[in-house]
Amino acid sequence: MRHTPALRRWGALVLALAVLAPELRAQEVQKQGFLAGKRKWMFAVIAAVAVGVPAYIAGGSRTVEGNCSDRGCLTTIAVLVGGGAGFLIGLEQDQRLKRRLRTGPTLRYQSITIPLTLVPDRLTPFSGGAVVTGIGGAEVVYSDGRVVGRARGVRGIEDAAVLEERDLIVLATGSGLLAFPLSGDTVGGVLLDRSGGSAVEEIESNLAVADASEIRLVRIAGADDALSTEPLAAVASDGAVADLGWNPFRRTAWVLVGNRLASYAPAGLEKLGEVALPGEGISLRIRADRAVVAVGTAGVALVDIADPATPRLARLITGLRFAYSADLDGDRLYVAAGPEGLMVIDISDESAPKVLGVARTPRFVRDVMVVDGRVWVLDRDRRRVEVAEFAAPATPGQ
Amino acid sequence: MRRIAFASTLFLWIASPAAASAQVDVARAHLERGLAFASAGDTTAALAALREAVRRAPRMAEAHYQLARLHLVRASAVESDFKDRLAAENALQKALELDPNNPRYLVELGKVKLKQQVRVDALRLFNRALGAAAKQGDASLLADLHYEIGAIYEMWYEGMAHKHLAPLLRGPPPADRGLHPDERVSEFINEYLDQAPEVEGSGWLERDNMMEHYRAALRHDPGHMGAATRLLGVLYDDGRFTEYLALVQGFLARAPDRAEPYLFLGLGYHAQGRENDATEAFERGLAFLPEEDRLAIEDLSEILRRKEGEQYQALDAGARQEFERRFWSITDPLYLTEANERWLEHIARAVYADLRFAAPEFGLRGWETERGIIYIRYGRPARIAVFAASATDQGDRYRLGQQTIVWTYGRNGPTFIFQRQPGYRTARFAGEHEQLAADYRYQQPAFYKIPSLPVLFRIPVQVARFRGVEPEEAVVEIHAGIPLDSLSEGVDVKGRNLEVGFFLLDPEGRAVERRVRTLPVARAAEVGAELVRVRSWRLILPPDSFYYVGVEARDPLSWRAATARDTFTAWRFERGPLQLSDILLADFVDPITESPLMRDELRIRPNPALRYEAGAPLYVYYEVYDLEPDSLGFATYDVTLAIRVKSITRGGGFAQLLGKLADAWGFSIVGDDRVEVKFSREVKLDDRDRVPGWYRVELQEAPAGEYDIRLEVRDRQSGATAIRARSFTVGKRDSQG
C-alpha cells in the first residue's frame, strides 16, 4: 500500500470526525462530560498509533521475509490489532460510565471535607455540627471543620443522642449507656447504666432507649462523674428497634421496628398508632410532620405523622438499589445510597420524582442529614464528612 | 371407481384431522406419564414415554421441550459427558422451530449452552427469553432468567476479580517449591506480589451487571433463593452488612423453615461481633439442615492434624459427639462470654465456604473444595491475587491455560496457590501446594481471627502447689496478673468495670469451678493508675487430679480481653519422708508476726509473670513437709538455693551473633551457677507437719535473660533430700516488665 499525502490527509480527517462528531450534541456534552461515549474511539486511535508507528519504523528494516513483511502490510496489521484492542478497552470504559450515569447525572458541588479517624457509621445532629459514631468510638464534628474525639476504643456503638442543655453525648452500646461531654477538652466519659441499647433519642431532656426487648424512658441524674439514669417508664418492644425519632411539635416519639413505624406518647410510653412500611426500616429522620424512613431496597418512605394516632404512608420513592439513610429539605430528598453515592431527588411533582443528580465523589455514602440548609454527607470508605451547600435547584455539572 | 376414490378422499379429509388429533391426545398421555415417571425419579421410563410422545406428535413443541429437560437433568458439566447435552440441544432446537419465542424453551437452550461452557450464546438466549417473558409478565420465569444471567456475569467476574499483572520479565508465580528451595514460600510470594501491580477496577462492569440481575431476580421473586444466596455472598465480601442483614431478614421471612437464612443470618451477626445472636441463628440453622450436611459443617477433621483427623473420623457417633463437645469446651477462647467464639468462627467459615466455593456442577459442596478446606482452617487470606491463564505450561502440563490464584496469610503465615480453568468455579491446588498445605497442616492445623475479639492479650500465670490442711488434700494456688493498662488503654470511660473470671475444667472439658466478678478499673490516663492487678485463687483439690485452668479479663466496652490457659496436676503430699512444695516466686514476702510458723503469718505478693526488673529483689517462698524431729522435737535441715543463667537477652543483630558464639565457646556466663547459697536451719516442730521458708535474692547485676532457680533441702535427721525448681526472667533496666 502506498502512503500518499492525500491518503494521510483523508485518514486524519476521518479520525477527527469520529472523535469530534459527538461534540456537536451539546446537551450530551453538558450532561455526561466530554469523553462520554467517545472513549472507544480515542483509545482505538491512541492504541493504533502506539502500535502502528513502531511497526512502521520496524517495517523499514526488512530483516524478516514473509508474506506480510513489507512495511505497508506490517503497519496495516499493527494498526488494526492495536486499534481493535484500544476500541474494546474504550468500549468497556464507556459502558461503565453509561452504567454509572443511569441513576442520574453526576452532581458537582462545593463542600468542606472533614477527615475522620474512625470508620464512620452514623450522624447525629446538634446545633453546632454533628456527632459521628462508628467503629472505634465517636467524634464531634463542628461546622467549621474542627473534630474532637470522644469514646476512643469503645466498640459496638449502635446510636447516639445529644443533650445540648446538659452538654452531653449519650452513646448506646450493647454493654451499656455512656455519657461524654459534648464540648470542652475533657475526653473522659462515664458509664450511665449497664443495660445498653440499640437506639437512643433525646426526648425533652430525657432519654428514650430501645433494645430488642423493650423501650424505656430514663432521666439522667447527677452531674460530672456521678451521672446515672433513673427509670421513668418502660414498655415491651415488638422486635429489634432500628431507630428512634422525636417530633417536638406533636410531642410524639417514633419507633422504627422491623417493617413498622409506631408512635408513642412520652408520658408512660403509651402506644398511639402504627403504620406498615414496604420493607425493613433502616433509619428514621423526623422533619416537621413527615417521617423520612430509609427502607433499604424498597427505597425511601415518606410518612405523614401529623396525626400520631393514624400515621400513613404518603409517598414511596423507589428505584434505588439500597437506601441507607435519607433526609428531606423542602421538596428535595437526599438519599445515602451507599456505593451509588448521594442521590438528590426533587419530589415536588408527586407523580414523577426527578433525580437532580448523584454525587459520586464519596465512595460509600452511609448517612446524610440536612441542617440549616447544609447537607452533611458521611463517606464510610474514605472516612470523612463532606458538608455541602447545594444551590436551589442543584444543577448537574455545576 | 370414481365414487370409491371420491369416498376415500372424503374419508381421508374428514379422518386425518381426527386421526391427528387422536395422535396428539395419545402423545399428551405419554407426555403426562413421562413427567410422572420423571417426578418419581425413574428417568429411564420417563425417557421412553417422552420419546414416544415425540414420535406420536412430532409437531408438539411441548413434548420436545420436556424431552430436552429430561436430557438436561441427566447431563453433567463434565466435558466428556456430551450425549445428553447434545440430545437436549437437538430437542430444544426442534421445540423452538415450532414455537420460536417461547421463553421457557429459550431458557432451557441457554442452560444447555451453559453446560457446554458457551456462555456468550447462553447469555444471548437468556436475553432473548427475557424480552419474551417480560411480555408474558411471568414473574417466576423473569426471576429465573435474571438469576441465570447474573450467574453468567458472576462467573466472568470471578475470572477478573483481584486481577494482577505478573511483574516485568517474570511469569506467573511458581507453584513448585523446588524453584525457591532456600526461601520460605510466603516470603517469596509476598515479595512477588509486592511487584505485581493490581489491575484497578478489573471486572467492575461484570460485577455490576451481576448484582443488577440478582436484584432484578429478587424484585420479581423476593423468595428466589439462588439470587438471594449469590447476592449475599457479594455483600458479605464487600462488608455491606446493613444491606446484607436486611436481605437475610427478608429471606428469612419468606423461608422460615429453611436452614440457609438462619445460617446466613448467623454469618452476618458473627461478622459484626453479635455473638449471642449468631449462636442462636447458627443453632437454628443447623437444626434445619439434613443430617449429612450438619455433620459436614460440624466436622473437625480438617482442623486437626491428619492423623488426629483420621482417628476422629474413625470414632462412632457417640464418641465423636463427646469429642466435639470436649474439643470446643477446651478451645473456647473466652469462658467469660456465653458464646463460644471459636465454634462460631468455625461454623461461619464452613457456611462461607459453601456460599462462595461450592461447585454444584461437580456435585461439590463448598467445604469439600480445596479453597473451602483452606478457608475453614485459616479463614480469609490477607491478600488474594489472580493471574491470567498461562500460555505456557512452565514445566507442568496441567498449568497450561489455567488461571493462577494466590492466597497468602502474610509473610509469616502460609501461602497457597491454586489453579482454575477459566469459566469454572472450582480451583485446585497448583504444583506442589497440596503437599505444602499438608506440611503446614502438621505445623498448624488451624488458626483463628475472631471479629468480636479484636485484641487478645496474655495473662501471665504462676501455679504453685502446696499440701492442704490434711495430707490427703492438695492446695493449688493460681496467681494471675491482669493487665489493666493494656485492657484500659485508649478507652476513656470512668466508672467502668472489667469482667474477671477464673475457670477450672476437668480432663473431659467439663466446668468444675467458675468464679466471675467485676473489677472496677481506673482510666489508664489517671496518675497512679494501676498497671497490673494481681488476682489469686486458692483451691483445695483431690491429689493427682488433672485440670485445665483459665483466667480471663474482659472489657465489655472495648471488647478487649486477656486470657491465660494452663494445665496442672494437683500433687500428692502424702505423709512420709521429706517433701517440698512448689517454689512460689514473689515480689515481696513480709512477715506479719515476729516468727511466722505458718503461711497465714506472712504477707506475700506473688509475681505471676515470673519476671523481674534488673535490680529488683526476688522473693522465694516454699514449704518443707514431714521433717523428722530429733528426741527434743527439733528438726535440722540444709538448704541449697542456686540460680543459674539459662540464656542472656542481647541487643539485636551483631550482639546476638557474638553472644551466641561466646555461649558456645564457654566465654559467657550462660550455664554457669551465678548464685548459690547454702545454709542450715534448726526449727522446733511442735507437732507441725510443715515449715515455711522464704528468702530474698538481690539481682543487682544480673543481666537480662532467663534463669533457673533450684531449691534443694536435705533433712539431716532422715537423710532425705527434696528438690524443686522454677524458671524466671530478668528484664532490661528500662523495660516495663
CB atoms under 10 Å from CB of B569, counted, come to 14
Within 13 Å and on the Cβ side, how many CA atoms surround A315?
Answer: 17
C-alpha to C-alpha distance for A313 and A260, rounded to whole angstroms: 11
Tally of structural domains, chain A? 3
Q: Mean of the pLDDT values across residues B313-333?
A: 94
Determine the pLDDT at residue B588: 92
Nearest CA to CA, how far is A296 from chain B (Å)? 7
A337 and A323 assigned to the same domain:
no
User: pLDDT grade, residue B527 (50/70/90)?
Assistant: very low
Tens digit of each residue's pLDDT (9 = 90 or more) over B426-471: 899 988 889 889 989 999 999 999 999 988 999 999 999 999 888 7
> What pLDDT is recorded for position B117?
81
CA distance A193 to chain B (A): 10
pLDDT surpasses 80 at B540: yes
The shortest C-alpha distance from B248 to chain A (Å) reads 11
pLDDT of A385: 96
Please check whether residues A186 and A326 belong to one and the same domain: yes
Strand blocks (E) in B582-672: 584-591, 602-606, 611-612, 617-625, 634-648
Query: Any idea which residue has 467464639 for its cell?
Result: B341
Do A214 and A79 lie in one domain? The reply is no
Residue ranges making up the domain that contains A322:
117-332
What per-residue confidence (pLDDT) applies to B390? 67
Distances (CA, A) of A133 to A178, A355, B200: 13, 29, 31
Q: Which of B208, B240, B490 is nearest residue A153 as measured by Cβ atoms?
A: B490
Tell me the three state secondary structure of residue B681.
strand
**Grid cell for residue A325:** 439513610
Same domain, A323 and A363: no
- Shared domain check, A300 and A177: yes
CB burial of A156-188 (b: ≥16 within 10 Å; e: otherwise) equals bbbbbbbbeebebbbbbbbbbbbbbbbeeeebb
- Is B469 exposed, middle or buried, given 0-12, 13-18 or 19+ CB atoms closer than 10 A? exposed
Residue A130 shares a structural domain with residue A173: yes
Cα–Cα dist B407/B161, whole Å: 13
User: Where is the domain boundary, A76, A101, A126?
Assistant: A101
Decide which of B172 and B300 is more confident: B300
- Choose the final residue of a domain: A73, A101, A129: A101
Q: Specify whether A220 is located in the same domain as A286.
A: yes
* Cβ <8 Å between A153 and B489: yes
d(CA B429, CA B189): 15
Residue type, B469: V
Which residue bears the cell 423507589? Answer: A318
- Cβ(B628)–Cβ(B717) below 8 Å: yes
Is the Cβ pair B557, A280 closer than 8 Å? no
Q: Are residues A327 and A296 in the same domain?
A: yes
Q: Could you identify the residue written with the cell 506473688?
A: B606
Q: Quick one: A189 and A259 in the same domain?
A: yes
Q: Is residue B392's pLDDT more than 70?
A: no
Q: Which region among A387-391, B213-217, B237-241 has the lowest average model confidence (pLDDT)?
A: A387-391
The answer to whether A189 and A208 have CB atoms below 8 angstroms apart is no
What was the ipTM of the complex prediction? Answer: 0.82
Q: Judge whether residue B265 has pLDDT over 90.
A: yes
B216 vs A contacts (CB less than 8 Å):
none
One domain, residues A184 and A283: yes
Higher pLDDT, B362 or B77: B362
As a whole number of angstroms, the distance between CA B186 and CA B416 comes to 9
Q: What is the DSSP letter of B300?
A: -
d(CA B266, CA A301): 29
The pLDDT averaged over each successive group of 10 residues in chain A (398 residues) is: 57 58 46 66 88 79 67 86 86 75 82 94 95 94 93 92 94 93 87 91 94 92 88 91 95 95 93 94 95 95 96 93 94 94 92 90 95 94 92 49
The whole-angstrom distance between B455's CA and the closest CA on chain A is 11
- Average per-residue pLDDT for chain B: 87
A111 lies in the same domain as A234: no
A75-114: string of b/e by CB count within 10 Å (b at 16+)?
bbebbeebbebbbebbebbbbebeebbebbbbbebebeeb
Taken in order of first residue, the domains within chain B and their CATH numbers are 2-137 (1.25.40.10), 177-197+257-443 (no CATH), 455-574 (2.60.40.10), 575-737 (2.60.40.10)
Tell me, yes or no, whether A186 and A151 share the same domain: yes
> Does residue B667 carry a pLDDT above 80?
no
Q: How far apart are CA A216 and CA A19, in angstroms?
A: 66
Closest chain B residue to A225, measured at CA: B494
| CB-CB neighbors (< 8 A) of A321 in chain B | 215
> In whole angstroms, how large is the CA radius of gyration of chain A?
29
Task: Report residue A185: phi and psi, to 5°.
Answer: -90, -10
Average pLDDT over residues B114-135: 88
Q: Of A36, A71, A101, which closes a domain? A: A101
Q: Residue A393, preceding bond cis, omega within 30 degrees?
A: yes
Q: Hey, are the CB atoms on A99 and B205 less than 8 Å from each other?
A: yes
* Cβ atoms within 10 Å, residue B140: 12
CATH code of the domain containing A209: 2.130.10.10
pLDDT at B77: 57
Give the model's pLDDT for residue A3.
53
Which residue in the set B240, B250, B493 is minimally distant from A178, CB to CB? B493
